[in-house]
Amino acid sequence: MFRKIVGVSAVQRHAAQRFTAIFAINFRAFTGFTGLEAAPVIENSIDTSSDVFKENASRMASLVLDLQAQAARIRLGGGEEARKRHLSRNKLLPRDRIDQLLDAGSPFLELSQFAGYKLYSDDVPAGGIITGIGRVSGVECIIVANDSTVKGGTYYPREILVFNDFMKSVDSGGANLPNQADVFPDKEHFGRIFYNQATMSG
């Protein structure tokens, strides 16, 4: 059913499988690594008790905590007020839509969580769109969901090229109007999104 929804041709699927198989064969031939034997342990001479190591470890721990805090803020989307407004309209939040789409208990590997981070003058968590890899009906696939709590789910100028099978959950106000001059410029930009959606829905 999933294959029918995304409209992936047998030729495309076969090409992807063939490429993967050829890559695996060449990798084994070049490295001699089959994946069956234990990988060698890389030796090092790092003194974990040294003051330098401890200082670096402390700085890294601080950076990781900051990264985790930023990621948690990004997962909230457009903020508490936007989330409340969204829920008051009896709409599912984008991450809840994804949870309902995924197979029960299966993981979701989020990609591009920091897309748009400090790229624009205003705050655009995750670029206003959630992307990741998840399992739907037993099939690993790309999932894309507009986050309408972020500027109404509008599109900001960016260039995306898609080769993989994917499912998209749309809840968008279209183009972000203050940036429309950069969103619509030619056939490879925003207008192309409609073309791709029509093609994949056919």
* Predicted confidence (pLDDT) per residue in 73-128, tens digit: 888 777 777 778 878 888 888 888 888 889 988 888 888 888 777 766 666 667 77
**Pair of tokens at residue 16:** 């992807």
Residue 63: is its pLDDT beyond 70?
yes
Asked if 145 and 97 touch (Cβ cutoff 8 Å), the reply is yes
CATH label of the domain that carries residue 82: 3.90.226.10
- Whether residue 5 lies inside any domain: the answer is no
Asked if 111 and 133 touch (Cβ cutoff 8 Å), the reply is yes
- Whether residue 189 lies inside any domain: the answer is yes
Asked if 126 and 103 touch (Cβ cutoff 8 Å), the reply is no
Structural domain range at position 76: 52-201
- Whether residue 32 lies inside any domain: the answer is no
- Whether residue 66 lies inside any domain: the answer is yes
- Whether residue 29 lies inside any domain: the answer is no
Most confident of 44-48, 61-65, 87-91, 178-182: 61-65
What is the domain count for the chain?
Answer: 1
Percent of the chain predicted with pLDDT > 90: 9
Residue 153: is its pLDDT beyond 70?
no
Question: What is the reported pLDDT for 159?
Answer: 42
User: How far is 142 from 130, CA to CA, in rounded Å?
Assistant: 11
pTM of the full structure: 0.50
